[in-house]
Structure 1
Amino acid sequence: MGFTMGFAPSFPIKTQPTNFESVEAFDASGRRHEHYHQKKDVTQFESLTSKFFQRYVEERQNAQEAKAKFNDLVGLAARFPQWHESDIADFRTQFLSFDLNHDGLIDFPELDTALTELGDKSPYHVRKQKFDEIDVDHSDSIDFEEFLHLLDSVMMSSEGGISDAIGDMCKRETQNANTIRHLTLEQQMEAGLF
C-alpha cells in the first residue's frame, strides 16, 4: 500500500466515508453551499425526547442566568444604590441560607423550609401568595435580584408575616456583619471569630 506524491492514495477507496449530510449540501469541489438547509425528518422518539429535556434545558439556562446575577456585585450595587457592595455581599450569604441546593434560585419548597426554621408561623397559603408576589418574572423561583427587591421593600415597610421573618433575619445578620467589620483583628481574635 503506497502513496504517490500529494494526498491522493495510490489504491482505490472501496467504501464511502461516513457523512451525515446530504450530497446536495456541497458543490462539485466539496465546498458547502452557503444557503443549503438539510431537511431533517424528526422521528416521534426524537420529538418526545426533545420535549422531555426542554424543561431541563430551560431550568439549566435559568440557573446560569441567576448565578450570573448572583455574582455581579458591581451591577447590583448600581441597581440598589441604597446599599454598599459589602451589604450586598452579606445579603448574598443570607440568600444562600434559603437556596438549599445552591442553584442561584430559591424555589417555594426552599423558602417554606427556611421560614419554618426561622420560626415563622404564617400558613402555607400566605407563604405561597407572598412567594408569588416576590417572583416578579413568574419563573417559579426567586433569583437574587428579586430577593434584593424583597429586602428593600421589607426594610422600607412595617408589613407583617413572612416578610418580617426574612427582614428580621437580614437586619440581624447585616448588623452582625457590620459589627464584625468594624472590629480590629485583635478584637475579632478575642471574640473567637477565627
Structure 2
Amino acid sequence: MAATAYPISWPMGFARTKHPEKGRFSTTLPAAIKNVQDSIRLFGQDSGKAIQGLVISSNYTLGGLNPPDPAVAVYFTWDGLQVCIPVDRYTTLAGNLQAIHHIVEARRVELRHGTLNLVRASFQGFAALPAPGSARPWHEVLGVSPAASRADINSAFRSKAAAAHPDAGGSHDAMAALTAARDAGLKAVVS
C-alpha cells in the first residue's frame, strides 16, 4: 500500500465530489479522528481479524486545521484485503472523518447481524480502490496515446474488456483496473 498521511493519497479512478456540502456532524477534529481509530480497532476485534497498516490520509497540517481540500482517505489491511475508504462529501475534515467512522460502524452492524462473508463482500468495493502510484497510467493500461479521443478510449476498453472480463477467463482485478483506466481516460479528455 503506497498511501501517505500527507498530502492526501486519493485512490485512482475514484471521482471527487464537485460540490461538497456542510454536513450536520457536530464533532471536533480530534474527536472525529478518535472515532475513526476506535471504530476501526473495534471492527478488527469484532471480526477476529487484525487491522494492520492504518493510514489516515488528508491535507491536514498542524498549521492548517481547515485545508482548502478537506478530503480524507483511510487505508488499512484487514483479512488480507487492502481497504481504502475515501470521503470528500463534506466541507470539513471532521465531517469527512465522521462519515468514515459511520461507514466502518455500518460494517460492524453487518458483522453483528450477518456473517463475516457478508462483510468481506461489502469491503470488496473498497478493496478495488488502489492507492495513487500503485497502478500504471490509464493510457498504458488501455494501450492508447495520452492524447487519445473518447472514441479511441472506448474502443480500446471494449477490445481489452473482451479478454479481461471474468466470464472470458479474466479476473475481477483485471476488469476493475481496466474500468478505472477507462474512467480516468474519459475524465482526462478535453471536451
TM normalised by structure 1 equals 0.25
> Which of the pair has more CA radius of gyration?
1
**Which one has more relative contact order, counting CA pairs under 8 Å at least 6 apart?**
2
By percentage of residues, which structure has more strand? 2
TM normalised by structure 2 equals 0.25
By percentage of residues, which structure has more helix? 1
